[in-house]
Structure 1
Amino acid sequence: MRFSIASLGEEPAGRFGEFVRLCELLGYESFCHSDEKWTRDVYVRLAVAAASTSRIGLGITVTDPYTRHPALTAQAAATLGEASSGRLRVFLGAGSHFETLPGYASVRPVVGIRESIELMRRLWDGERVTLDGEIVRFTGGELDFPVAPEHRPGVWVAGRGRQILRMAGQVADGVLIGSFATPAGIRYAKELVAGGLERAGRTWDDIGLASWLYVSVLESADDDVPAGVRRGVSHALWSSRAVANQLLESVDLSGEDEFLAFMKDAPHEWSPAVMAELRRLIPRVVIEQFAVVGTADQVAAQLIALRDEGVQECIAWPFPADGMDVEDFAVQFAHEVVPRVRGRRSRGAYRLVD
């Protein structure tokens, strides 16, 4: 299993470059940065990351086809791919928080993502493209610079919905499963991806498999779950309510009638009051379905179970315990969790500090 770190963009500029550099020296596979609304700009930040490092992969997690036209994404991603010597992956998903942008919405995301991938790849191939899609439209345009094959970004699809996962199996370079943290969740997602692979005449050798995970390493198993993890899980539950309810059918939720009633009957809105109540009601057993929280031994055991189900990469969104920051988390996770998952490394596997 490979390990990557994700950032929501909370680190100020000077500290950010040092954080990316630290992650490279610790041996992480990739450093990913969100394209959520309204964090620091992902392209500016990853340009800083590219200039600050030489080895670590870079990832945009997660952009969408609506708030930035996919042709502009293709232009910016190709530029960043060149600047990083081919270390970039673009993760495409349905998007979120459209309530702040009147006139924008996640319309038919499966079609939008598929058409976006087609347009981006054709532009990177040097074509002059006209695409009159159902969602994506582009007329007689081309990039004004060549994209070298070795600099071409990988395109991954991120999601947890049934149709998006199937589509990922058909067309994506990789799939990023959205915060399924149990073997049952991974099996559910893999079955859908496999359907897409079969339909396209592809195999698992043609696609990467990663899981986006909220991660917190606690000193004691009884320590409180960090508020940020609760917030992340609440968004996973609410953005994919039908899928979450299906997965929770196999979880023992006896005594959690208030939570179950809320999941069934609460208005599907993103108001602060609704989200605060959801976070208050989420029981720990549900958090464990969508996050990796516990002692170093517990976190490692959960990741080993995911690895054994075929997850090749953990992209960890870090939630440090009280009194720690993300740099502390990166060091702790690399030193205490990764070796437990991988077993003892040979001396040659360590990277040299340059």
Structure 2
Amino acid sequence: MKFSYALLPDHSVEESLSTIQLADELGFHACYAVDETWHKDLWVLFAAAAGRTRTIRLGPSVSPMLLREPTHVAQALATLDELSGGRAEAVLSSGNVGLLEQYRIDPAGMRPLARTKEALHVVRTLLDEGAITFEGEFYTYDGLFTFARPVQRRLPLKLGGMRGPRIFEAAGEFADGCHHALSYTREAYGYMVEHLRAGAERAGKDVDSLDIGAWVVFATAEDSAVAREAARSMVGIYATAMSEEQLRRNGVDPAELRPVVDAVRAGDLARGIELTTPEVAERLSVSGTPEECVAKIRDEIAVTGVNHLICAVTDRTLVKAFAERDLPRVPEAREQLRLIHERIMPAFG
């Protein structure tokens, strides 16, 4: 299993760069960041990181196709690929519903899956051929070309999904894999892999050749209670993006979580955290000591065929920024990356 670091670029730029550099030195497969206005710009950050790293791959997970014009994403990816010597990749999706609401965009009327599939085709074509003539339902180009060319022969493009099943099947059929966000159980990942396989079979692909990623809220520390409290501070924020069926596949009754979601959406993060029970936080995160994290990854995630764990590391800085709580005993991201490297990654060969 590959291990990657999912960065929310809300630390100082220098701290983010030094943490990415450490992840590179420790052998993490990739560093991903969300391509959202809420955070510092990942493209600028990763351009700087490219010159300070050697092997770690870099790119968005995810880039929102309801906000980003796909040819601009292709241009940025090709440029990042040249800067990094062939280490760029991307995960595309329709976008974060909460962010889209702030742009007054209603995804329901925009056919988000169809648009994302068409955007994937546009990015793939421009990366592979350097030019595109295309008349689609959402995008139209007449001889558009670019001098931004990737180093890689085939720059990996994946789809990001949460609810399924159609996005998982589309990822299996048209993309190089899928990053499934915010799931933690055999049932949830078995569901994803089942539909990835169906899509891959339609395209004559082996599902095992795909990047099958689990994007998880993650916190680890020597003290289990400290790590779990960090995760509890963030679970409600992320849960606002989860559909009812996704919650059920993760063993959570939507009615149980509704007061948390309502509080968070109303801007009362303190109340949302107060209402998030330790039991719900444990179900909706990978958190605890390194050994406890190993057990959950092994028993609930790896067993389904997932071959890539993307750790959205929750540290003291993020908890303070998002939840306005200071938890001084929670390790910073650099320390957690070392714990993952030393005591979690070896368990998965």
TM-score above 0.5, yes or no: yes
Q: TM-score range by the shorter chain?
A: 0.7 to 0.9
Report what 2:235 is aligned to: 233
Q: What per-residue deviation string (whole Å, max 9, x for no partner) do you get for residues 184-242 of structure 1?
A: 22112111212212232322144111111111113344447335x34543344332323
Residue identity matched to 1:296: P
Q: 1:120 aligned to 2:123?
A: yes
Q: 1:58 aligned to 2:58?
A: yes
The alpha carbon displacement at 1:148 in A equals 4.2
Residue identity matched to 2:13: A
For the 8 Å contact 2:227–2:287, the answer to whether it is kept is no
Q: 1:296 aligned to 2:299?
A: no
TM-score between both structures, scaled by the size of structure 1? 0.84
Going from structure 1 to structure 2, the CA distance change for 1:18 and 1:262 (only over 3 Å counts) comes to closer
For the 8 Å contact 2:162–2:242, the answer to whether it is kept is yes
Residue identity matched to 2:291: D
TM-score between both structures, scaled by the size of structure 2? 0.85
1:212 to 211, 215, 230: 215
Which segment is superposed worse, 290-299 or 276-285? 276-285
Q: Percent identity?
A: 25
Q: What per-residue deviation string (whole Å, max 9, x for no partner) do you get for residues 26-59 of structure 1?
A: 1111122221222111110111111101111113
The alpha carbon displacement at 1:77 in A equals 0.6
Report what 1:154 is aligned to: 156
The alpha carbon displacement at 1:178 in A equals 0.8
Going from structure 1 to structure 2, the CA distance change for 1:135 and 1:272 (only over 3 Å counts) comes to farther
For the 8 Å contact 1:33–1:46, the answer to whether it is kept is no
Report what 2:249 is aligned to: 247
User: Alignment length, in residue pairs?
Assistant: 332
In structure 2, what is the Cα distance between the partners aligned to 1:154 and 1:22?
A: 23
In structure 2, what is the Cα distance between the partners aligned to 1:178 and 1:191?
A: 16
Residue identity matched to 1:47: A
Question: What is the RMSD of the two structures over their aligned residues, measured on CA atoms?
Answer: 2.7
The alpha carbon displacement at 1:291 in A equals 1.1
Report what 1:85 is aligned to: 85
Going from structure 1 to structure 2, the CA distance change for 1:278 and 1:169 (only over 3 Å counts) comes to farther
The alpha carbon displacement at 1:143 in A equals 1.3
Which segment is superposed worse, 278-287 or 24-33? 278-287
For the 8 Å contact 1:131–1:138, the answer to whether it is kept is yes
The alpha carbon displacement at 1:295 in A equals 1.5
Q: Secondary structure at the match of 1:88?
A: coil
In structure 2, what is the Cα distance between the partners aligned to 1:193 and 1:278?
A: 34
Which segment is superposed worse, 333-342 or 45-54? 333-342
1:326 to 326, 333, 342: 333
For the 8 Å contact 1:29–1:56, the answer to whether it is kept is yes
For the 8 Å contact 1:259–1:281, the answer to whether it is kept is no
In structure 2, what is the Cα distance between the partners aligned to 1:222 and 1:84?
A: 39
Which segment is superposed worse, 304-313 or 133-142? 133-142
For the 8 Å contact 1:157–1:175, the answer to whether it is kept is yes
Q: Secondary structure at the match of 2:48?
A: helix
In structure 2, what is the Cα distance between the partners aligned to 1:278 and 1:244?
A: 20
In structure 2, what is the Cα distance between the partners aligned to 1:221 and 1:175?
A: 30
Q: What per-residue deviation string (whole Å, max 9, x for no partner) do you get for residues 292-323 of structure 1?
A: 01112111111222222211111101113643
In structure 1, what is the Cα distance between the partners aligned to 2:131 and 2:255?
A: 56
